[in-house]
Amino acid sequence: MTTSNPLRLLVIGAHPDDCELKAGGLASLYREAGHQVKYVSVTNGEAGHQQLSPSELAKVRRAEADSVASLMGIEYDVLGNRDGQLQPTLEARFELIGLIRRYQPDLILTHRPNDYHPDHRATSTLVCDAAYMVIVPHIVPEVPALRVNPVIAYLSDHFHRPRPFHPTVVVDVEPVLERIIDQMECHRSQFFEWLPYTLCQEDTFPRDAAAERAYAREFYEQFNGPLADRYRELIIDTYGKKRGRKIRWIEAFEPCEYGSPLTEEARDRLFPMLP
């Protein structure tokens, strides 16, 4: 499907697969409607494996990201910052400012500043620090500045300190659940090798394709499943009682005050799949 005035969604995660896990459904709905999507991994993903060397893994994860890009028909950038070592430096901030300006997104999604992983926290800081600066012409002057600050929203998490996640937008992603699992399956080094290792399940992990997919689906359902019941009231407010009570799988987003405001008008424009 094509649209005459496509929206541009930019999802910025710390690692390859972060975007897919938290916004793979919204990205799929955007693509179905003919809108544009770009995923960015701010690090190269070199640390997340029990056997492959960092240099080997970085190549594998770049190839896995390319598989997602081909599957989804999207752009996918994997930046050169080292996995597990990301810092919110000026150099990294300027790189993101240039990237955001070149892509000209309508909506940016990223991690919240409080999160279990230091790379996630640093990514959030980098995006927030880039927010206003993308409209300042004398910062990164080689890339023309944007005239309007994009809307920025946070991806969901379950952390409570210093402040819990508080979404204002929930999206039913069950219609594209299989597409989310497809994206996860592209990241074989993570979901079928590294994840079982971190859970001490490598000796019992299934090795046939059907069992692997079932494992990925079960992980997603356990990982994102609690969101629907946690934000049931907002789901019902969004979709009405009849549908809202039945929705099982959602993605949820919290506005970031550093971007342009996510007004009701902006919500209707940036999330056109909502009723």
In this predicted structure, what is the pLDDT of residue 244? 98
Distances (CA, A) of 231 to 18, 32, 167, 170, 171: 21, 25, 8, 8, 11
- The mean pLDDT value for 177-199 works out to 96
Is pLDDT of 79 > 80? yes
pLDDT digits (tens, 9 = 90+) for 84-116: 999 999 999 999 999 999 999 999 999 999 999
Would you say residue 21 has pLDDT above 80?
A: yes
Q: Backbone phi, then psi, for 117, in 5-degree steps?
A: -105, 125
Closest alpha carbon to 27 in 251, 274, 258, 266: 251
In the predicted model, is pLDDT for residue 220 greater than 70? yes
Whole-number pLDDT of residue 204:
83
Residue 1, pLDDT > 70, answer no
Domains and CATH numbers, the chain: 8-177+251-270 (3.40.50.10320)
